[in-house]
Amino acid sequence: MSAQPYRALFRRDLKLAMRRLGESLLPLFFLFTVIVLIPLGVGPGPSLLARMAPGMIWVAALLSSLLALEHLFRPDLEDGTLEQWFVGETTVLGRVWARLASHWLITGLPVIVFSPLAAEMLHLPHRALGVMILSLLIGTPALSLVGGLAAALTLSTRGASVLLSILIFPLIVPLVIFATGAVSMAADGMNPYAHLGLLGAFTILAMTLAPFGIAAALRMNLE
């Protein structure tokens, strides 16, 4: 079996996102509105901001990733494409992976690219910058995976967006703890690799288990 159908889905998703670039980048702008509001809310003192920066950048990344999740599978459910995923010779898991990969490229990657800017706005110490980018690189795929699971679970419910954020929160707690732990350690000049290792373990766990849960939840929503 070739990987052609999955690649086609992946390319289609990316192409659609590029055609609607403004819409695709809205979560990124949302992230920056959160980053801008924090100094206005707690006061612009650099030392206070520097202490809060790791947590705030991660919380902002988490919030902005919520925005795009509701439409991860819903358009496909509405126009019937999702049902086509379950017939024919392709596996659902492959399509789920293709969809998640394109979702991460559209929502996760821009956050990583622009995170140095956010870090500078919040006076994050420069020595922690590398670890912060690394933590985002390791952590944002897990964000897409767990978010995808929540999106699949709430696919055909009423009030999906509120429910979605309630479901994600408890599942994502370890991610936030380890990621901000690593960045804070690096900011204090300590060794962040224990936290980064646990973060990587969480991402690997999500990679192994979440796609099966997503595929099962999608199937149930079609029944």
Binding residues with another protein: total (CB under 8 A): 25
Residues 6+ apart with CB under 8 A from 99: 9, 10, 13, 72, 73, 148
Residue 66 within binding range of another protein, rule CB under 8 A: no
217 binds another protein (CB under 8 A): yes
By the 8 A CB rule, do 53 and 119 touch?
Answer: yes
Q: Is 156 in the site for another protein (CB under 8 A)?
A: yes
Distance (Å, whole) CA 165 – CA 151: 9
Residue 33 CB, nearest distance to another protein (Å)? 26
Q: How far is the CB of 221 from another protein (least distance, A)?
A: 7
Longest dimension (CA), the chain: 59
| Binding of another protein by 159 (CB under 8 A) | yes
Site string for another protein, 106-125 (x = CB under 8 A): --------------------
Please, which of residues 163-192 interact with another protein by CB under 8 A?
A: 163, 166-167, 169-171, 173-174
Closest of 116, 165, 106, 122 to residue 136, by C-alpha:
116
Of 33, 81, 84, 157, the one binding another protein (CB under 8 A) is 157
- Six token digits for residue 66: 């919520």
Backbone angles phi, psi at 89, to 5 degrees: -95, -10
From CA 147, how far away is CA 107, in angstroms rounded?
12
Residues 131-150, one symbol each (x = binds another protein by CB under 8 A, - = not), give ------------------x-
Residues 222 and 82: beta-carbon distance below 8 Å: yes
Pick 33 or 156: Cβ nearer another protein: 156
Integer Cα distance of 99 and 10 in angstroms: 6
The span of 23-31, 75-83, 159-167, 182-190 binding another protein (CB under 8 A) equals 159-167
When asked if residue 18 is in the footprint of another protein (CB under 8 A), the reply is: no
Q: Which residues bind another protein (CB under 8 A)?
A: 149, 153-154, 156-160, 163, 166-167, 169-171, 173-174, 205, 209-210, 213, 216-217, 220-221, 223
